[in-house]
Structure 1
Amino acid sequence: MATVLRSTVTAKAASGSPGRRKGGSTGQLSPWRLAGFASLTVPIYAAQMPLAVHLPAIYSQHFGLSLAAIGAIFLAERLWGAAADPLIGALSDRTRSRFGRRRPWIVAGAIAFGLAAIALFFPVFGVTPVYLAVSLFIMYLGWSMIQIPYLAWSGEISGEYHERTRIATFQAVAGASSLLLVLVLPTIIDQVDPQDGALKLGAMGAVVIVSLILSLNFALRAFPEKPAPLTQPARLPLREALRVVFADRLLLRVLASDLAVTTGQGIRSVLIVFFVTHYMGLPQWASGLFLLQFIFGIVAGPIWAQIGYRIGKHRAAVAGEVVQIAINLGLLLVTPGNLPLLLGLTVAQGFAQGSGNLMLRAIVADVADRHRLETGHDRAALFFSAFSLSMKGGMALAVGIALPLVGWLGFDPAAPANTPAALNGLLYVFAFGPAVAHLISAAFIHGFPLDEAEHSRIRRALDERDHALQPAE
């Protein structure tokens, strides 16, 4: 991954763009250190696809759990996460220890995450709804304890406007690579023994656990934590933490944009198998096209980083959304059996995917800087924890909108054959749903006032204030 992004490093070093200084703690960061730090996204993302796609089916088919029980457990986890994530963010911001603010949470979360992953992916006891619920809740708790402080730490490694885009790019490439790996494994196993659910589960679990052990060491050693601000955030109960989040208008714009992005991506993910299988009549291509999209998504990160360097993060986010609107509307031109056009649009989608997610997460650290300047409180982890609300909300909206809508339009995946009207309804939801969502996302982030010049002013003011607060020697 460091090799893939080395050209980005060289180009920006030569450009001498504003806000980027060579040398010192705020200059160019080592690509190898960034790769080590970004490696922690591998186990986090590697667990995402199995938990969302494969684990429910395998636990139902091979361990006999009812779909109703599995659905209720996953729904309860979403509600639990919505309450727990902001609390973890607020507590991480307040943590003071000899090991830093973020490291203790990441290590404790990794222990919980790893033990629960062993229980979920390698079940050795009788699998019951209680077994699934307890294991899943502990795993998601550990996931949040890793991810939220880790994202906050990624915004603290550098205060430079464009360097934060570079950090987010390394993380995006690592995450896309891990998703690709866990998508390939079930495909390979299907060629050997498609009925062996335990083998699929174990293979994906091995990727999660091994990558967690390796990446934890790399990430914790990659960079030192910067000293915590001298001003201590006030103790925040959950209700007050949520009030702080929803009172920041810039953060709300970023979250609303991310909610729309996630909803659009979710609609596409939920319907792509139905679209390729039933509308296109190409069931043998359903998994392959999904895999192809992620392959091209890996190389998309550095491309969008370069765009962000040149035009700014919020403009790059808008540009990415506009491209995705055009791609999704292009699906209206696809006709049953027309594989070449669908392949071309899938490749284009791979290049465009993640552009909004990458830029929006890089912007959050800038918004947290602005909040600290205005209030005197560093609440970076709390702000990053709010992304769990937009992510989970977007995924829930995608399922809650897309599936009932195509059903209302007459589509039935279990029917021997669907009517032309039902198949056209599937096409329209698959094309227009993501297009509208990406349009909404672009509208929220268009004209975002926190650009490179404004962020440089904020950082100078923060540096001056922090220097003034240092005790006299």
Structure 2
Amino acid sequence: MATLPYAEYPIGEGAVRPDHSLRHNIADKSLSPLRLAGFASIAVPIAGAGLPLAIFVPQLYASEFGLSLAAIGLIFFIGRFWDVAADPIVGALSDRTRSRFGRRRPWIAAGGLLFGLSSALLFFPPATLVTPAYLAAVLFLFYLGWSMVEIPSSAWAGELTAHYHGRTRVVAWQMLLRSIGLLAVLVLPTILDQVDPGNGTLKLQLVGGFILVTLLPSLILTLSSVPEPAQPASPPVRQSFARAAALVFSDRLLLRVLASDTVVTAGQSIRAGLIVFFAVWYMGLPAWASGLYLLQFIFGVAAAPVWQRIGTRIGKREAAITGELAQAGINIALLFVFPGALPLLIALTIAQGVTQGSGNLMLRAMVADVSDAHRLHTGHDRTGLFFSVFALSAKLGPAIGVGIALPLVAWAGFKAGPGNSPEALEALKYVFALGPALAHILATLIIWRFPLNEAAHAEIRRALHQRDAIPA
């Protein structure tokens, strides 16, 4: 099995049947729902920081502290490059870490403290110290702390169980807690707008307070809820980072999963970037602009356990394909929404929420399986580096989606304000509907014949088990 090229992993009816006795042995019965919820709880403050960072921070630092938009834009632009660079560095270093506390725990603990400190400085800035240099330094620490928590915890999640469907279950809990964090930062500012509209400073502090209040208990729960798996018997990889990165980016299975998730995220970003414009200017429903997004998120949270069950029953690849095709159909149905058709729009928004996490969940769960195949093929465990590379899709997808959608609707004559022609509004609807639909179809084609199914993974785990049992 170790010599099989990735393209020759068995698929379809000719697949080797998984050894169910092995599957039973590697399933970790100690991963109760309560333990998994505790382990995944760090996703609440981490996910809760993302949306305010994009929406509230630039606006407040410009309006309240007088920083120029050009300076803020440049700082965030450079900061995003640092964020992208920090992920694989942290992933590779955590793979190589050896300590009595484990490989992932020291990074998460140190990263959590750094993330908390930088969040306090970012969301509660002392007015007399705020300068472009202050914002740049705080963002540097913020992104570093974020990577030190996010990447090792994702790798740890992939190592919690070697069971094919068990990994889907672990990722489902992470996605559920991540959705709860996002939901909270959507609800809290919405409530504040009803009580004290226009108070940007209080809104920023409210979000920052939520992050700080949830960070410490979630950090303790993540570090203590589940045992970290035994460190690999093989010595840490001593290759250069550039050589390890080159090997990872030459892994065809990982690249397919990464490409599919990037396209999925780009499609979701097109929808998120245009939904306010569509609700306000096409539908003429400004009161529903935030409500539609919130409604989609609520049903997305509720659907995570459902998709975990679907993935367990039919397989990750099949569940991802099913979810992506469903989302494509839902977005195409938006072409039949016209001003006044609010009930249909609400129904499609709910359906979008129910299906939106399917592809992301299954693709993330596939990364640990791909890492197993890589370890069998190369002899090196690079789980942390694999998850750091996969995290690029969450950063590339929005950049691609927004970078395509906004210029496209602008080229068609749409502008964010009154006075748009009927043709410009129709163009907005077509991009809003067909952009995500095409993205979900493309993501389906990329993952359509993904060879690493349950049967192939069972063979990989059996080969790894036999090889690991042989003394070096």
TM-score for the superposition, normalised by structure 1: 0.93
Q: For residue 116 of structure 1, what is the aligned residue in structure 2? A: 118
- The offset of 1:209, in angstroms, is 1.1
Instruction: Go from structure 1 to structure 2 and tell me whether the alpha carbon gap of 1:19 and 1:261 turns closer, same or farther (over 3 Å shift).
Output: farther
Q: For residue 31 of structure 1, what is the aligned residue in structure 2? A: 33
Alignment check: 8 A CA contact 2:82 2:143 kept? no
Alignment check: 8 A CA contact 2:267 2:440 kept? yes
Runs of 4+ aligned residues of structure 1 deviating over 4 Å after TM superposition are: 16-25
Q: Which segment is superposed worse, 456-465 or 339-348?
A: 456-465
Deviations 1:57-106 (A, max 9, x none): 22222222222222211111121122221111111100001111001111
- The offset of 1:18, in angstroms, is 4.4
- The offset of 1:20, in angstroms, is 8.0
Mapped to 2, the partners of 1:128 and 1:238 lie a distance apart of 35
Matched position secondary structure for 2:388:
helix
Q: 1:293 aligns with which of 293, 296, 300?
A: 296
- The offset of 1:25, in angstroms, is 6.4
- The offset of 1:54, in angstroms, is 2.1
1:304-383, aligned counterparts within 5 Å?
304-383=307-386
Alignment check: 8 A CA contact 1:19 1:456 kept? no
Instruction: Go from structure 1 to structure 2 and tell me whether the alpha carbon gap of 1:17 and 1:180 turns closer, same or farther (over 3 Å shift).
Output: farther
Q: For residue 45 of structure 1, what is the aligned residue in structure 2? A: 47
The Cα RMSD (Å) is: 1.7
Instruction: Go from structure 1 to structure 2 and tell me whether the alpha carbon gap of 1:58 and 1:337 turns closer, same or farther (over 3 Å shift).
Output: farther
Q: For residue 219 of structure 1, what is the aligned residue in structure 2? A: 222
Instruction: Go from structure 1 to structure 2 and tell me whether the alpha carbon gap of 1:458 and 1:391 turns closer, same or farther (over 3 Å shift).
Output: same
- The offset of 1:230, in angstroms, is 1.5
Determine if the alignment matches structure 1 residue 180 to structure 2 residue 187.
Answer: no
Read off the aligned partner of 2:291 and give its amino acid letter. G
Matched position secondary structure for 1:469:
coil
Q: For residue 5 of structure 1, what is the aligned residue in structure 2? A: none
Q: 1:263 aligns with which of 259, 263, 266?
A: 266
Matched position secondary structure for 1:100:
coil
- The offset of 1:248, in angstroms, is 0.2
Q: For residue 63 of structure 1, what is the aligned residue in structure 2? A: 65
- The offset of 1:192, in angstroms, is 1.1
Q: For residue 9 of structure 2, what is the aligned residue in structure 1? A: none
1:164-243, aligned counterparts within 5 Å?
164-243=167-246
Deviations 1:381-426 (A, max 9, x none): 0000012222211111112111111110101114x31001111111
Instruction: Go from structure 1 to structure 2 and tell me whether the alpha carbon gap of 1:407 and 1:236 turns closer, same or farther (over 3 Å shift).
Output: farther
Alignment check: 8 A CA contact 1:323 1:352 kept? yes
Alignment check: 8 A CA contact 1:282 1:337 kept? no
Determine if the alignment matches structure 1 residue 143 to structure 2 residue 160.
Answer: no
- The offset of 1:235, in angstroms, is 2.8
- The offset of 1:353, in angstroms, is 0.8
Deviations 1:22-81 (A, max 9, x none): 688633621111110010111111111111222222222222222222221111112112
- The offset of 1:450, in angstroms, is 0.6
Read off the aligned partner of 1:459 and give its amino acid letter. R
Mapped to 2, the partners of 1:337 and 1:39 lie a distance apart of 41
Mapped to 2, the partners of 1:167 and 1:376 lie a distance apart of 25
Q: For residue 155 of structure 2, what is the aligned residue in structure 1? A: 152
Matched position secondary structure for 1:230:
coil
Mapped to 2, the partners of 1:162 and 1:458 lie a distance apart of 15
Alignment check: 8 A CA contact 1:19 1:161 kept? no
Alignment check: 8 A CA contact 2:27 2:163 kept? no
Q: For residue 5 of structure 2, what is the aligned residue in structure 1? A: none
User: Percent sequence identity over matched residues?
Assistant: 58
Q: Which ranges of structure 1 fall in alignment gaps of 5 or more residues?
A: 1-15
Q: 1:106 aligns with which of 102, 105, 108?
A: 108
Instruction: Go from structure 1 to structure 2 and tell me whether the alpha carbon gap of 1:19 and 1:188 turns closer, same or farther (over 3 Å shift).
Output: farther
Mapped to 1, the partners of 2:458 and 2:67 lie a distance apart of 54
Q: For residue 454 of structure 1, what is the aligned residue in structure 2? A: 456
Determine if the alignment matches structure 1 residue 397 to structure 2 residue 397.
Answer: no
Q: Which ranges of structure 2 fall in alignment gaps of 5 or more residues?
A: 1-17
Matched position secondary structure for 2:442:
helix
- The offset of 1:114, in angstroms, is 0.5
Q: For residue 465 of structure 2, what is the aligned residue in structure 1? A: 463
- The offset of 1:453, in angstroms, is 0.9
Mapped to 1, the partners of 2:468 and 2:26 lie a distance apart of 18
Alignment check: 8 A CA contact 2:19 2:458 kept? no
Q: Which segment is superposed worse, 289-298 or 234-243?
A: 234-243
Count of equivalent residues: 454
Mapped to 2, the partners of 1:19 and 1:43 lie a distance apart of 39
Alignment check: 8 A CA contact 1:22 1:28 kept? no
Alignment check: 8 A CA contact 1:263 1:437 kept? yes
Instruction: Go from structure 1 to structure 2 and tell me whether the alpha carbon gap of 1:31 and 1:19 turns closer, same or farther (over 3 Å shift).
Output: farther
Which has the higher relative contact order, 1 or 2, with Cα contacts under 8 A spaced 6 or more apart?
2
Mapped to 2, the partners of 1:265 and 1:149 lie a distance apart of 26
Alignment check: 8 A CA contact 1:372 1:378 kept? yes
Q: For residue 281 of structure 2, what is the aligned residue in structure 1? A: 278
Instruction: Go from structure 1 to structure 2 and tell me whether the alpha carbon gap of 1:230 and 1:17 turns closer, same or farther (over 3 Å shift).
Output: closer
